[in-house]
Chain A
Amino acid sequence: TQLLEQSPQFLSIQEGENLTVYCNSSSVFSSLQWYRQEPGEGPVLLVTVVTGGEVKKLKRLTFQFGDARKDSSLHITAAQPGDTGLYLCAGAGAGGTSYGKLTFGQGTILTVHP
């Protein structure tokens, strides 16, 4: 069974601060996806990283996939109240039997105060 440990579970910061969310596993994943979820809605994909060492940027959000494809991080620069939400990492297994199944981390609830 593949497990993903996400930390921290809660993050409460002031507008303008920087933050990093971590996602770690002892298993290798073919790809790592990051989702954001708003209250009352389903998760929505932010980014997919597939290559070890890959870095992707989405405006003020920077996503990194570890060299060994076992861990990932999400860094937000100059957080804004609109960044508030639940952030989830999810790893995809490899091979023809994965059928796109994902293993999710526990999630990080981010609150950005004005």
Chain B
Amino acid sequence: NAGVTQTPKFQVLKTGQSMTLQCAQDMNHNSMYWYRQDPGMGLRLIYYSASEGTTDKGEVPNGYNVSRLNKREFSLRLESAAPSQTSVYFCASSDGAWNQPQHFGDGTRLSIL
């Protein structure tokens, strides 16, 4: 009963390095989302994908890119990491309806030195 799987769970980067956070869901959901969580700020939407083949910016997209590889997978890329991107990143999926819940992975804890 995997649900939403995120890799890696932890990562330390140096400023300027790049990396890709991976996310996969096995619930056949249409929509997928990437959030960052910082203390006192709840969850902020970075990018979302309403359906396979589409992606759109959320509230805080600067410094990030995404790829919806197929219906199951949605990756988040940091091209040139900055200390301000130190955060916990969560991937989520839903069937896209307004009254349906989002299902979250366990997060990736990213530190940028």
Chain A interfacial positions (CB closer than 8 Å to B) = 1, 4, 6, 9, 30-31, 33, 40-45, 48, 50, 88, 90, 92-95, 98-102, 104-107
Contact = CB atoms under 8 A, between A and B. Distances in A.
A44 B92 CA distance: 11
B50 A9 contact: no
B2 interface: no
6 contacts: A42-B92, A45-B102, A48-B100, A90-B102, A98-B98, A104-B35
B48 A42 contact: no
B99 A107 contact: no
Contact of B50 (A41, A93, A99, A107): A99
Contact of B90 (A30, A42, A107): A42
A104 B42 contact: yes
A32 to B, nearest CB: 10
Contacts, number: 70
What's the interface size class on B, roughly?
20 to 34
Contacts of A42: 4, 90, 92, 104-107
Contact of B98 (A31, A41, A43, A104): A31
A42 B34 CA distance: 12
A98 to B, nearest CB: 5
Contacts of B58: 101
Contacts of A33: 101
A45 B101 contact: yes
Contacts of B31: 99-100
B96 interface: yes
A106 B42 contact: yes
A44 B101 CA distance: 9
Contacts of B94: 100
Nearest to A88: B42
Nearest 6 A/B pairs, CB to CB: A42-B104, A99-B50, A104-B42, A45-B101, A100-B94, A104-B43
